Structure 1
Amino acid sequence: MSSRPMRHTFLLLALLPTLAQAWGNHSPMCYRAFERMPEVANAAAVKVEPLVDFLRAQESAIARTLDAQEAWARQHLKGHAPRPEALRFTADAKRSDAERRAAFLRALRLSPQSKLALYLQVDPREADSSRPALDAAEVSAVGNSKGATQRFVALQAGEAVAPLAVLASACDEPDYGHDLNLFDDNAGAPSNPGYGFGKQPFGNPAVAIGSQAPFHMGFFHQGRVFNTLAPSFARTFTELRVQQYGGLAVLAWQTGHAYWGWRFAGLALHHVEDLTQPYHASAAPGATLGHMMWVNLKAQLGAPADRQGLVVLQSNRHFVLENFQTSWIMDNARQRRDGPLEQALRDLALDGRYPAWSPGYVRDVVAAEAFAAGPRTDAAVVVGAPAKFVTDPNFDFAANEGRLGAELARDMQGQREALLREVAELLRHFGSHSRNGLRGLLKQAGK
């Protein structure tokens, strides 16, 4: 058997799991994670500012920042896809605001459909908001999924807003279409073959939402054998996004654009938070390398059922974990009560036990920790959820989530404690890494 088909079939192992988001809605969790952090809780209100105002005022500085980021990425990021020279952002006072904004998105290699609107995602603990409601289509280029929990309100340029609200809202924003259809082989419209990312390294390039997976997952710790058999799994761009958004946050704070400082910080932290989820840091947390090799060999020999079953099981467990976590957080928020997950998100005790924030923190600390937690998390899902949702390879939970979410919640009442403890531990890491990342960015900005 040649190495080429083995590599090809290895890619199929992550085909369905990569379609899921890591943590559902990040914002409600980020409200809890940051609300008692002094650097956020004591920060002065900031003035809302349209993106084009920041771009126009700091055009030359932004150009220098993006050039420096690209030079750094080429030197330090493994598997980096160099930005084509034609996409370089340069200062041009004569162009329109729309042209400047489009050039900025191209230089970051974000989807041209990215909204970056003036909005907040309301803390679900707030009973109401005096601000006008905003349709999701004004904020996100991705249609609402079944059971979406986001609730948006409009901001007006010049109004004052709390940094906590800006930060927590932005922590969910990269899932709103920033990273869709950026590879040469994506079938969605518009596709961007001129962005230089090449072919999609894993996931299904024909499914739009799946095209964001390489920007939100990081398989950095699978081991030498796995990486030899499936080298494209190492091509992920989470670290690039953290550096891009984080550098812009620092620049915005340093140049008096505090609103965009907090906004870009939230965008950066989203990608950090995604890697606290074991299903985003491991190709198959519930399977050994030997088992993955065996089911791929069987598929090569004409018996693909076990391989497809593994894909379905990993996907189901990912969706069940996400559904459980989101339902718990939202129910407690709406009733303004605290439980183990809220307490874990606020827990500051773990923050100082990690190394200081650095460019290697995402890979060496966050992803490594989540990868190590993978087997334990997968086992907790199997124990905590009804068997048909997590052990039947013929049952696709994702396709039935809207119909079966209530059934899952009901049937887990008597058997959820092990899963609750595991999710609480994961969210304790989520909160600590989010705060440590923010501290690192504020330190770089001299705040």
Structure 2
Amino acid sequence: MRHFLFMLALLPTLAKAWGNHSPMCYRAFERMPEVANAAAVRAEPLIDFLRDQDAAIARELDAQEAWARAHLKGHAPRPDALRYTPDAARSDADRRAAFLRALRLSPQARLALYLQVDPRDPDTARPAAETSQVSAVPNSKGATQRFVALQPGEAVAPLAVLASACDEPDYGHDLNLFDDNPGAPASPSYGFGKQPFGNPAVAIGSQAPFHMGFFHQGAIFNTLAPSFARTFTELRVQQYGGLAVLAWKTGHPYWGWRFAGLALHHVEDLTQPYHASAAPGASLGHMMWVNLKAQLGAPADRQGLVVLQGNRHFVLERFQTNWIMDAARQRRDGPLELALRDQALDKRYPPWSPAYVRDVVAAEAFAAGPATDAAVVVGAPAKFVTDPNFDFAANEAQLGSELARDMQGQRDALQARIAELLGHFGAHSRNALRGLLTQVDSQKTR
């Protein structure tokens, strides 16, 4: 069992699901009445919300932790030393640090005032903001984000706030939070223990357990690899979602939309099959077989499985990102844009609830895993997705144009598969937002 766990620990090393959430969220929400018709809001520094709602935030975070302990499987209880307590006398810096500790976010999380510009409407009149002002993570190869700074009190459309925040948790919120990460927070520990999967020595990989959810692997898999059940996507959805409701109902609409976007990011990540399955292109039997061979002295197939799953994930993400960005820059609607906006899909799913992330979003993506993996294999250049000696991530910057040019004959099938997945992305995002807005309305009527 120990060797099987070692192999599995290597598989999900990619923390990002979709290349850039914001362009997709602009399309998913731009015709949703609750967003499109919402009044402009005033940009507000985080510390203003924290100061104004100090006691209410403390109550909200305590209620969230109590709920998580009672309802979330595999929850890692928050250490009592991290509890947020009201204190009118503390400095703004101490208040902000206490808030991040209570949420168990990275101390490096920026939460600055910014927008990510819609590539369909680049708004070149605004000066660009440096990535380091917005994100604790340097730009990756082929990054498509363009940031602009907001000034306190500046009027801004809720769509822009929401769509921008939908990409934000990838900017370093969940890095190095486990006890065995090199940059783990100093004492007291955040209480998450050792990293349950992925490589704890790789910083970007340390966020994987907050952006993946392997809820449907089956009893045998769960017995062999129980640590895979320790994922914290549901926790983040509840934390950010609860803060969004609090902000909306207490007169801080900017942070209502901002926290809502942060919550939606974690929902959207689980619409990606490579984030809902440990290895969607491999059966449990195959994983056990290649692991047995490795134990007998032939590790090549096991390492090849790790490389191929990573390559296919990268290819899907890069192809989808290029397609979305090209269409946006040309202000062209195609299959992806139509799928993202298709509100007829929303009613095919049950109403939003705390179980929706696990029972609806992750279950659907897990079921879509084999077909998605097969579509990537037949739709992308063979060397990218079938050669275990080729590392796509290491060559991504040089291969972007080649990937776009040299697609195989089944490219249409891959495009259709991505469009279907982004239909799920849009529908689940809207259903989650409706769920949060409904909570605001219900609390106002009590």
Interval containing the TM-score (normalised by the shorter chain): over 0.9
Is the aligned partner of 1:202 residue 2:197? yes
Structure 1 residues 216-248: Cα deviation after superposition (integer angstroms, max 9, x where no partner): 000000000000000000000000000000000
Match in the other structure for 2:150: 155
Alignment length (residue pairs): 442
Deviation at 1:353, TM superposition (A): 1.0
Q: What is the DSSP-based 3-state SS (H/G/I as helix, E as strand, rest coil) of the residue aligned with 1:194?
A: coil
When residues 341 and 89 of structure 1 are mapped into structure 2, their CA distance, relative to the original with a 3 A threshold, is: same
Q: Hey, what's the Cα distance between the residues in 2 that align with 1:306 and 1:4?
A: 18
Is the aligned partner of 1:313 residue 2:308? yes
Could you state the TM-score of these two structures normalised by the residue count of structure 1? 0.97
Among residues 79, 82, 94, which one is paired with 1:84 in the alignment? 79
Q: What is the DSSP-based 3-state SS (H/G/I as helix, E as strand, rest coil) of the residue aligned with 1:120?
A: strand
Q: Hey, what's the Cα distance between the residues in 1 that align with 2:440 and 2:205?
A: 34
Is the aligned partner of 1:358 residue 2:353? yes
Asked if the contact 1:10–1:296 (Cα under 8 Å) also holds between the matched residues in 2, the reply is no
Is the aligned partner of 1:336 residue 2:334? no
Which ranges of structure 1 fall in alignment gaps of 5 or more residues?
none
Deviation at 1:392, TM superposition (A): 0.6
Asked if the contact 1:141–1:176 (Cα under 8 Å) also holds between the matched residues in 2, the reply is yes
Asked if the contact 1:20–1:319 (Cα under 8 Å) also holds between the matched residues in 2, the reply is no
Q: What is the DSSP-based 3-state SS (H/G/I as helix, E as strand, rest coil) of the residue aligned with 1:157?
A: coil
Q: What is the DSSP-based 3-state SS (H/G/I as helix, E as strand, rest coil) of the residue aligned with 2:189?
A: helix
Asked if the contact 1:183–1:193 (Cα under 8 Å) also holds between the matched residues in 2, the reply is no
Among residues 246, 262, 271, which one is paired with 2:241 in the alignment? 246
Q: What is the DSSP-based 3-state SS (H/G/I as helix, E as strand, rest coil) of the residue aligned with 1:125?
A: coil
Structure 1 residues 76-97: Cα deviation after superposition (integer angstroms, max 9, x where no partner): 0000000000000000000011
Q: Hey, what's the Cα distance between the residues in 2 that align with 1:93 and 1:45?
A: 30
- For 2:4, the aligned partner's letter is M
Within 5 Å, give how 1:25-424 maps onto structure 2.
25-188=20-183, 194-412=189-407, 414-424=409-419
Is the aligned partner of 1:10 residue 2:8? yes
Deviation at 1:190, TM superposition (A): 5.5
Among residues 440, 444, 447, which one is paired with 2:439 in the alignment? 444
Which ranges of structure 2 fall in alignment gaps of 5 or more residues?
none
Q: What is the DSSP-based 3-state SS (H/G/I as helix, E as strand, rest coil) of the residue aligned with 1:200?
A: coil
Higher deviation after alignment, 48-57 or 17-26 = 17-26
Asked if the contact 2:178–2:184 (Cα under 8 Å) also holds between the matched residues in 1, the reply is no
Asked if the contact 1:10–1:229 (Cα under 8 Å) also holds between the matched residues in 2, the reply is no
- For 1:76, the aligned partner's letter is H
Q: Hey, what's the Cα distance between the residues in 1 that align with 2:122 and 2:358?
A: 39
Q: Segments of 4+ in structure 1 off by > 6 A?
A: none
Asked if the contact 2:381–2:408 (Cα under 8 Å) also holds between the matched residues in 1, the reply is no
Deviation at 1:187, TM superposition (A): 1.5
Asked if the contact 1:188–1:207 (Cα under 8 Å) also holds between the matched residues in 2, the reply is no
Asked if the contact 2:81–2:188 (Cα under 8 Å) also holds between the matched residues in 1, the reply is no
Q: Hey, what's the Cα distance between the residues in 2 that align with 1:372 and 1:8?
A: 25
Deviation at 1:303, TM superposition (A): 1.1
Percentage identity across paired residues of the two chains? 84
Could you state the TM-score of these two structures normalised by the residue count of structure 2? 0.97
When residues 366 and 150 of structure 1 are mapped into structure 2, their CA distance, relative to the original with a 3 A threshold, is: same
Structure 1 residues 120-144: Cα deviation after superposition (integer angstroms, max 9, x where no partner): 0000011424332100000000000
Asked if the contact 2:327–2:334 (Cα under 8 Å) also holds between the matched residues in 1, the reply is yes
Q: Hey, what's the Cα distance between the residues in 2 that align with 1:33 and 1:90?
A: 38
Q: Hey, what's the Cα distance between the residues in 1 that align with 2:6 and 2:241?
A: 34
Q: Hey, what's the Cα distance between the residues in 2 that align with 1:106 and 1:85?
A: 11
- For 2:300, the aligned partner's letter is A
Deviation at 1:20, TM superposition (A): 4.4
Asked if the contact 2:177–2:184 (Cα under 8 Å) also holds between the matched residues in 1, the reply is no
- For 1:310, the aligned partner's letter is L
Q: Hey, what's the Cα distance between the residues in 2 that align with 1:179 and 1:193?
A: 17
Q: What is the DSSP-based 3-state SS (H/G/I as helix, E as strand, rest coil) of the residue aligned with 1:153?
A: strand
Q: Hey, what's the Cα distance between the residues in 2 that align with 1:180 and 1:161?
A: 29
- For 2:158, the aligned partner's letter is P
Q: Hey, what's the Cα distance between the residues in 2 that align with 1:59 and 1:10?
A: 42
Deviation at 1:31, TM superposition (A): 0.1
Q: Hey, what's the Cα distance between the residues in 1 that align with 2:186 and 2:20?
A: 26
- For 1:164, the aligned partner's letter is L
Q: What is the DSSP-based 3-state SS (H/G/I as helix, E as strand, rest coil) of the residue aligned with 2:344?
A: coil
Q: Hey, what's the Cα distance between the residues in 1 that align with 2:284 and 2:186?
A: 34
Deviation at 1:7, TM superposition (A): 2.5
Structure 1 residues 395-431: Cα deviation after superposition (integer angstroms, max 9, x where no partner): 1111101011100100017541000000000000000
- For 2:207, the aligned partner's letter is Q
Q: What is the DSSP-based 3-state SS (H/G/I as helix, E as strand, rest coil) of the residue aligned with 2:148?
A: strand
Q: What is the DSSP-based 3-state SS (H/G/I as helix, E as strand, rest coil) of the residue aligned with 1:350?
A: helix
CA RMSD of aligned residues (A): 1.2
